[in-house]
Structure 1
Amino acid sequence: MVRKLAIILLIQLFLGLSISDYVPKTNHSGKLTPVATPYTDNNRIILFRIGMQDHSSQEFKRYGLHDANQLVLASGNPKETMINDFPKGLNASVNRNLSISFQMPNKLQYGAKFLVPIIEASTAIPQMSVFVNGFMAGLIQIAGLSDKNDSNYDAYGNLYELYIPPEFFIEGQNEIILQVERCLYCSSSEDPFLWFDWDYIEMEALYRMAEEPIHGRYIKMGSSVATERYYFDQSAVDHLPYVLKWLGIAYSGNIMRASCFSNVRNSCSAMQEYYEKLKEYNTGAVAMYLYTGDIQLTSAGTLAPEAASKLEQFMKRYGDYIQYYEVDNEPSIFNRSKDVNIAIARWMNENKTRYAPHLQSVAPGWSYSNKNGLPIGWERDPVQRRELENLTDLTNGHAYGTSYLEKEGGSFFETLKTFESLQNGLPKFMLNTEIGTNNKHLDPSKYGAQQKQSAVFDRNLRAHIGFSNIFMQHAAFFKDYELFQTDFQGKNHDPALTQAYSFGNDQESRLKIFRRLALAYATHGSPLSYEIMNRNEVRMKKVYIRAVDTAALQPLPGSKAVSDKILISIVNFEHEEIHLRFKVLMPDKGIFDGERIGPGDVYRDAVQQVNELKAEPWIEIEAVLPPGESIQYILDKR
């Protein structure tokens, strides 16, 4: 049974309330105590805030709850002593659950946004489920750098936000339950490592329709699709749509690592067609074209004419298609020069306005190696890395397995060293061009996972959902890291027969894990209303619905790619099969057709055609999801 701390907040909020409709007598921003009546703060309508906005949890009790199950606020603000009985966060071994109850005379017209600034969290990447009146609104992935057994840990803080649709709220008493969740494969052994502390918790009423159903953080995901690792040929073009749709990242403005290479003959044979296909599926690209192993610099430290000409020709031909350019790949591992990297970054800054003014530059894909390179080991030195970071728009940092947590050479800790302060997220957007696992990576045994290869891949992706902005699984068809089987000849292979790579031993595949997380966190657009019809069957079940209209997305910079698809995603985070019936409010009345992509180890088996869904303007959907599975509807109006 959920242990409750019920805070009864008497909220006088009416349908259609806007900023201009409500003028508070006083501004309660920064109050030590929870707020019992709504007020405005920087043009935001705050339903309640519990705690001070001071990057500290000192006003709260450590963990555990007050002996009384309820803390009732009849009206106005509670006494200051009450806040001291509120927990400083959640800890799976002490207080796994927290319930907050509050009163609303009327439903919210546009829904609400739940905010929780985390000031410290464990390295296990804890998850916090949020249930509103018994139904799951989201599962927030929380990144942390703290190890309570190490007195030299570094704290990392970030703000997490969750959109809650208006249909979740009712007139009268409402209840929000926050709960720490184990990894899908882990046992109770993980519990001591699942904890986080907050600065405050807050509920904000939206006064207009949300632009995005924010789910913790706004992130984009991707991978890389090439033939035999390096060739962007017609076979790669043919396989690309199947991969994008099966991964669940098509049409949402996600990003792929996609570029041929100046030193690989025939690498660019179908690059134009490849970029056009990405545009068709409203997907962007990060490119890295120039081979840096043999570049000569002028006496002024700039690129020699031959290298500059190669970059110029690439940008002239493809600059309109790409959104990002990556300076280099793991420069120390491949014995590359820091000065050459700096020269490339400077060339991009000085010339991109002529060829691709929208383009943003990305720091090298740091390996953080302390061996090789010129000077030797320069990648490990945060001062020398900062020379590149000062010249680029986004940071980078490759991370496999749980390497991101290594205090020497791990991307998360090394990024902290580069930027020195990470108390409010990263000070610079991060685009990770390589993450994931190889077949030797295993989840740490202390977490008790039965499927250790699956668990470590899941934990790696969830960590990046928690702290990165854009990230790419290393490569879809790269042996030992692959999402899909690679035992075929590309040019003779039917893309519909593409098969998920299997770890064996009844473990979940990388594809299943990637897809589950992509559908939950990386499908974008304006949110569509939905209502669950078999409510009793899914009450307090970790099943997540995400319905978006991609037509609301802004065109991608450069390519101007857009989409008009309706994406309806259903994700089962439970260990049991879920039967779900719900209806979605479509943007227009009419007939919708499309595809339904669900469970299956071969693309042809996973996809079904969907015809004649009649929206009046609601459509009804019924689905059965096995444990950990996900389903996506990709729909067009006829």
Structure 2
Amino acid sequence: MLKKAGIMLILAGLLLLSGFTLQWPEQDPRIWRIGVEDDSKQEFAANLTVDKLQYQVNQGSSQAVWSDFPAGLDASITRNLSIRYTLNKIPEHGVNFKFRVLSASKAVPQMSVFSNGTLSGMIQIAGIGEKSPYKYKKLYELYIPKEQLKQGQNELRLGAERCLYCSNKEDPHLYWSWDYLELESLTEPANEPVHGRYIQMGTGVASNDYYFDTGATRHLPYVLKWLGIAYSGNIVRAGCFSNVGNSCSDMKNYYATLKEYNTGAVALYLYTKNITLDPDGGLPADAGAKLMDFLKQYGRYIQYYEVDNEPGLFERSKAVNVAVAQWLSEHRSIYSPHLQIVSPGWSYKSTGGEPYGWERDSLQRKELEDLTDLTNGHAYGTSYADNEGGSFVENLRTLGSDEDGLPKKMLNTEVGTTNTHLDPPAYGASQKQAAVFDRILRAHIGFSDIFIQHAAFYKNYELFRHDFDFKSHDPVAMSSYSFPGNQDSRVKIFRRLALAYATHGKPLSFEIMNHSEVKDKKVYVRAVDTNYLAPLPGSGATSDKLLVNFVNFEDSPQSVRIRVKMPSKGDYHGERIGPGETYRDAVQQVNVKASPWAEFQVNLPAGDSVQTILNRKPGD
């Protein structure tokens, strides 16, 4: 139980050292803070073995000693934590909950956050374990709308959660420690319902692996909508290849389609293997001309350019990669001023390339990192956490650690699993192929800013079946690729996470109408107005869609009924995309009446999700 003591601000430093309570000025938006922002967990209890802990904190107060408060959560020791506090009045714009993680396990622990019995979020926590010589510290934030608060006594309940497919064998691997936890009132309307951290997701959509032709363009909208990444400014890997004939045959229309669905692109065009540099180390004229022509034609559509792909694995020269990055840096102001340069898609291979094995050497990678705007790092299965060759650890080795995540933004152009990857046996997953795909995506939600699944129709990595002719195939007949043994598909897993973390916009107010039925259930609602998103750099893409998402993190079916405050009164038209083996099965047309409040009701199978996409203007 926390002690309450009024103190004068001039004595704040002295009293903090003594463990007394601090009172903030009235204008401070902080409601409470637990712990001290000192890069340490020393003020907390060293060992607590109670599964459920309850604490009462006083509004507007903090203190320096927390000898009865856990230094973090550990699913095998302290799985649940209840923080109770009083609000004299409900903050008009809701609150922001944040906590700073000092270290976490490699297993990608999840922290559920319930406000008065309603799930406010499931935070995906990235970590590299306690024994690593590197540190990854991260401030996670969560928007909690005012509808999940009440005047008087409130409860914020935190929990360490297993993966959807895992048994209690995973519990010893789910732990993290924190520096402090804090709740603050928002002083103005939120621009984004922050869910841990702002991330963007994508995939690669090409026909026959490498072709951006009319078949790829026709399938593109259906892939974007089915995966739940359309309209929110997400990023796909989309750039034809200079060494593949007809690869670019419909590239302009493809990029125009991305713009229509408010989706950006990272491109990789220039084939670099057989390039001989000029004596001064620069790109030869023919290579520069290819890049210039590509940027002249398509530079206004793309937001990012990737220097190369897995240079060690594909025997690429470091000097050529450096020359490409330098050329882009020197010429983008002419052809594509908004363009950001992305480091090569590192495979961290210890052999191959020129000089031999250079891609594994962090000092040699740093030469490229010094020339680019975003880092990269491919990852498959659980490789991201490997101490040698793992993207997460290798980027920390190259770039160092920061006080809040990586010191450089990360765009991973390839993430996913092959059909042979399985979740580690130590975690006890019942669906091993589904679990490892879920885990690697959740890991990247924890540490990468943008990540792109490889790839929608690529054999052995696929989201969708591709045993058809793209030129004649009807996109509504697309079907998801299925793992054997009645496991969840990659599409189902990707959608669940995209709808929870990668749909963006100004939050719409909503109220859960069947609160008693979903109380303490891991059912997440996310409703946004994409009209408030800034235009994408270069293409100027925008959206006017309203997105209403329902995500079931439970391993049992759940029914949810809500009402959402729409921008105005009237009839709204659009699509509802939910469970289904084909796109045709998953989508249905909907009409919604708003007063301006509109009601939605969904039945969610275990681990499933539903998105309603509505035109922003009634009657459209």
TM-score if structure 2 supplies the norm length? 0.96
3-state DSSP of counterpart to 2:44: coil
Q: Which residue of 1 aligns with 2:111?
A: 128
Separation in structure 1 between the aligned mates of residue 576 and residue 33 of structure 2, nearest angstrom = 41
Question: Which deviates more from structure 2 when the two are superposed, residues 485-494 or residues 394-403?
Answer: 485-494
1:631 is matched with which residue?
610
2:40 to 39, 47, 56: 56
- 1:608 is matched with 588
Deviations 1:404-456 (A, max 9, x none): 11111110111111012245200000000000000010000000001000000
Change (3 A) 1:162 1:68: closer
Kept in 1, the 8 Å contact 2:56–2:83? The answer is no
Measured in 2, the distance between the counterparts of 1:121 and 1:63 equals 17
Rounded to whole Å, the distance in 1 between the matches of 2:10 and 2:112 is 33
Equivalent in the alignment of 1:618: 597
- Distance in 1 between residues matched to 2:122 and 2:590, nearest whole Å: 29
Separation (CA, whole Å) in 2 of partners of 1:67 and 1:192: 13
Residue 68 of structure 1, CA deviation:
11
CA distance in 2 between counterparts of 1:433 and 1:74 reads 46
Instruction: Kindly report which structure 2 residues correspond to 1:501-512, keeping only aligned pairs within 5 A, or say none.
Output: 501-512=481-492
**Do the aligned partners of 1:524 and 1:550 also contact (CA within 8 Å) in 2?**
yes
Contact 1:34 1:48 in 2 (8 A): no
Cα gap change, 1:119 to 1:68, in 2 (>3 Å): closer
Give 3-state SS (helix, strand or coil) of 1:100's partner.
Answer: strand
Q: Does 1:480 align with 2:467?
A: no
User: Which residue in 2 is equivalent to 1:18?
Assistant: none
Q: 1:9 to 1:102 in 2, by over 3 A?
A: farther
Unaligned ranges ≥5, structure 2 = none
1:75 Cα offset (Å): 8.3
Per the TM alignment, residue 296 of structure 1 is displaced from its structure 2 partner at its CA by 1.8
Q: CA deviation at 1:175?
A: 0.4
Report the equivalent of 1:17: none
Q: Distance in 2 between matches of 1:10 and 1:255?
A: 51
**Counterpart in the other structure of 2:176:** 196
| Alpha carbons 1:248, 1:518 under 8 Å: kept | yes
Match of 2:552 in 1: 572
Alpha-carbon displacement from aligned partner over 1:159-182 (angstroms, at most 9, x marks no partner): 100000011110000000000000
The alignment status of 1:437 with 2:420, answered yes or no, reads: no
After superposition, the Cα gap between the structure-2 partners of 1:369 and 1:485, relative to the gap in structure 1 and judged at 3 Å, is same
Letter in 2 for 1:629: D
Equivalent AA in structure 1 for residue 612 of structure 2:
Y
- Aligned match of 2:241: 261
- Distance of aligned partners of 1:525 and 1:75 in 2 relative to their CA distance in 1, 3 Å threshold: closer
- 1:487-566 aligned within 5 A: 487-566=467-546
Are 1:185 and 2:168 matched, yes or no? no
Cα distance change, pair 333–161 in 1 and its aligned pair in 2 (3 A):
same
Matches within 5 A, 1:227-242: 227-242=207-222
- Paired residue total: 614
Question: Which residue of 422, 432, 455 maps to 1:452?
Answer: 432
Deviations 1:597-622 (A, max 9, x none): 000010000000002x1111110001
| Residue 77 (structure 1) shift | 5.5
| 2:98 aligned partner, one-letter code | L
Corresponding residue number in structure 2 for 1:273: 253
Match of 2:280 among 300, 311, 314: 300
**For 1:240-251, what aligned pairs fall within 5 Å after superposition?**
240-251=220-231
Residue 34 of structure 2 aligns with an amino acid whose one-letter code is I
User: Residues 421 and 67 from structure 1, CA distance in 2 versus in 1: closer, same or farther, beyond 3 angstroms?
Assistant: closer
State the partner residue of 1:357: 337
Question: What residue number does 2:202 align with?
Answer: 222
Verify the 8 A CA contact 1:585 1:618 in the aligned structure 2: yes
User: Which residue identity is paired with 1:404?
Assistant: Y
Question: Are the aligned partners of 2:21 and 2:63 in contact in 1 as well (CA < 8 Å)?
Answer: no
2:387 to 407, 417, 422: 407
- Residue aligned with 2:255, SS: helix
**Corresponding letter in the other structure for 2:467:** D
Q: How far 1:84 moved relative to its partner? A: 1.1
Deviations along 1:39-81, one digit per CA (max 9) or x if unpaired, are: 47xx861111111111110110124268996555678857765
Q: CA deviation at 1:116?
A: 0.6
How has the CA–CA distance of structure 1 residues 453 and 315 changed in structure 2, closer, same or farther, with 3 Å as cutoff?
A: same
TM-score by length of 1: 0.93
Superposed CA deviations along residues 336-393 of structure 1, whole A, max 9, x for unmatched, are 0000000000001100000110000000000000111000010000000000000000
* Equivalent pair of 2:35/2:62 in contact (CA under 8 Å): no
Q: Does 1:85 align with 2:93?
A: no
Unaligned runs of 5+ in 1: 1-5, 12-23
Q: Is the 8 A contact 2:23 2:62 kept in 1?
A: no
Identify which range, 361-370 or 420-429, moves more after superposition.
Answer: 420-429
Q: % of aligned pairs identical? A: 58
In structure 2, relative to structure 1, the CA distance for the partners of 1:558 and 1:69 (3 Å cut) is closer
Inter-CA distance 589–407: structure 2 relative to 1 (3 Å threshold): same
